[in-house]
Amino acid sequence: MTGPHPGATALTLAVLAVGTLTGCGSPRPVGGPATVDMITDSGGYPARRQLIDRATERATSTCMAAAGFAWSGFAGEPGPGPGNRARDGYGITAPAVPPPGNATGGPELAALIGSPPRRATLRLPGLAQYTFPDSGCLAEGRAAVAGDTTAWARLAYLPGELNKQLSQRVAGDPRLVAARAAWSGCMAGHGHRYAAPDDIPAALAGRLRAHPEQRAALHAEETALAGLDARCNQRTRLSRTELDLRRAAVPGLGAARLEQAGELTGLAEAATVRARKILTR
């Protein structure tokens, strides 16, 4: 078993220092390793997120069954990442699948999202605004795990928005620029010219839109490209470099954002406890 990643202890101390708020009584720290994992979608957080999703699906399905409907949900396997791209590709040209959840309309859809359906809004000042269902079994399932639908929305949307900010902050870092150039050179050495990994799925999606009849051939090309992408990524440590830089940039989000993230960590921990109970019933 390996020890902590170099700099992890210093990073944790930095997050705690930046996230210390003053007020009545002693200063209280917000942040820490679990918060950094959540904001950057790394460490143990992806597994926790998957657990919460599976429990939400189970709770929603139970509600739908009580309403007389056999509903299958949305908590599939984690999406393609550098570790499994060689097997799964990017999810661009795979055969089309139905959207999450199988409610087809009428009474079933009404049971899922309410009749009439209510929607709530989550405003994240300086970041984004989201609307989401606030009635029906979908809302009931989410509330059963997260505590209420607003807590679910905060867990669903705020970490990703903070992660986007981190990605923007580190995009021009010379270490990431060098790793990206090394990755691009690795791909070019095998006859494929792309400036960055995100260019590959974008190009494939454009070709699929232009020639949908070529889906099967494009899928074979996609999996081959994805495998090469994964090998070049590993060789050049591109994803590792980007993640390390994002994690190191967390303190720069500032005390207010870190306080929000610290609160989210508490919500995620409580949701995890509820999720385990739901999944073991």
Instruction: For the chain, give the percent of residues with pLDDT over 90.
Output: 73
Instruction: Give 37-68 pLDDT, tens digit per residue.
Output: 999 999 999 999 999 999 999 999 999 999 99
Mean pLDDT of 1-12: 38
Helix (H, G, I), strand (E, B) or coil at 128: strand
What's the one-letter identity of residue 148?
D
pLDDT at residue 244 is higher than 50: yes
**Which residue would you say has higher pLDDT here, 178 or 94?**
178
Confidence band, pLDDT 50/70/90 cuts, at residue 195 = very high
Asked, for residue 1, whether it belongs to a domain, the answer is: no
What is the value of pTM for the model shown?
Answer: 0.79
Asked, for residue 249, whether it belongs to a domain, the answer is: yes
Most confident of the ranges 23-32, 62-71, 217-226, 269-278: 269-278
Closest C-alpha among 200, 226, 243 to residue 36: 243
Confidence band, pLDDT 50/70/90 cuts, at residue 4 = very low
Provide the number of structural domains found in the chain.
Answer: 1
Give dist(CA 272, CA 47) in Å, integer.
Answer: 10
Asked, for residue 58, whether it belongs to a domain, the answer is: yes
Asked, for residue 93, whether it belongs to a domain, the answer is: yes
Asked, for residue 195, whether it belongs to a domain, the answer is: yes
pLDDT at 85: 67
pLDDT at residue 27 is higher than 70: no
Domain that residue 90 falls in:
8-279
Instruction: Give 63-86 pLDDT, tens digit per residue.
Output: 999 999 988 776 555 555 555 666
> CA neighbours within 13 Å on the CB side: how many for 77?
5
pLDDT at 131: 96
Taking a C-beta distance cutoff of 8 angstroms, is the pair 278, 58 a contact? yes
Instruction: Give 95-114 pLDDT, tens digit per residue.
Output: 765 544 555 568 999 999 99
Asked, for residue 237, whether it belongs to a domain, the answer is: yes
Share the mean pLDDT of the chain.
85
| Alpha carbon 4 to its chain's center | 23
Asked, for residue 248, whether it belongs to a domain, the answer is: yes
Rg (the chain; Cα; Å): 21
Asked, for residue 2, whether it belongs to a domain, the answer is: no
Give dist(CA 102, CA 73) in Å, integer.
Answer: 7
Mean pLDDT of 230-243: 96
Mean pLDDT of 176-181: 98
pLDDT at residue 24 is higher than 60: no
Confidence band, pLDDT 50/70/90 cuts, at residue 280 = very high
